[in-house]
Amino acid sequence: MQKIINLDQAVINALEFLSKEKLPKLNLKNFSFPLVVGSGNAYNTAQIIFSKQKAIIADESNFREIISRYKDLINKKIIKEAVIISASGEKDSVWEIELAKKNKLKTILLTCSPDSTAARLADKVLVYPKIAEPYTYNVSTYLGMILSFTGENPNNILNFIKKIKLAKKISDFKSYSFVLPDEFLNICPMLDIKKSELFGPLVSLRAFSFGHARHAKFVIRDKNELVMTLGADKNKYFGVSTSRDQLSLPSKYNFALILCLTYYLIGKIQESKPAYFKKHIKNYCHDYGPKAYGKKDKFEIIVK
pLDDT digits (tens, 9 = 90+) for 87-127: 999 999 999 999 999 999 999 999 999 999 999 999 999 99
Q: Can you give the pTM of this predicted structure?
A: 0.94
Q: Does pLDDT of 238 surpass 60?
A: yes
Domains 24-127 and 168-277 share a fold: yes
pLDDT-based confidence at residue 30 (cuts at 50, 70, 90): confident
CATH architecture assigned to 168-277 = 3-Layer(aba) Sandwich (3.40)
Q: Is the pLDDT of residue 23 over 80?
A: yes
- pLDDT value of position 21: 96
Please check the confidence at residue 35 and state whether its pLDDT lies above 70: yes
Q: Each residue of 121-178: pLDDT tens digit?
A: 999 999 999 999 999 999 999 999 999 999 999 999 999 999 999 999 999 999 999 9
- Does residue 25 surpass a pLDDT of 90? no
The Cα 241–Cα 245 span in angstroms is 9
Report the pLDDT averaged over residues 17-38.
Answer: 93
The pLDDT value recorded for residue 3 is 87
Instruction: Identify the CATH number of the domain defined by range 24-127.
Output: 3.40.50.10490
Residue 257 has pLDDT above 80, yes or no: yes
| Model pLDDT, residue 2 | 63
Confidence check: pLDDT of 26 > 90:
no
**Mean pLDDT of all residues belonging to the chain:** 96
| pLDDT higher than 60, residue 1 | no
DSSP secondary structure code for residue 193 in this structure: H
Task: Spell out the domain ranges in the chain.
Answer: 24-127, 168-277
Structural contact between residues 48 and 146, judged by C-beta atoms closer than 8 angstroms: yes
Query: pLDDT (tens digit, 9 = 90+) per residue, 184-228?
Result: 999 999 999 999 999 999 999 999 999 999 999 999 999 999 999
Dihedrals phi, psi of 95, to nearest 5 degrees: -70, -25
Task: State the first-to-last Cα distance of the chain, in angstroms, to the nearest integer.
Answer: 12
Strands, E assignment, the chain: 35-38, 56-58, 81-85, 106-111, 124-127, 133-134, 175-180, 204-209, 225-230, 244-247, 302-303
- Distance CA(174)–CA(197), nearest Å, equals 17
Mean pLDDT of 231-252: 95
| Calculated CA dihedral for residues 89, 42, 40, 17, nearest 10 degrees | 90
Checking if the pLDDT of 54 tops 50, the result is: yes
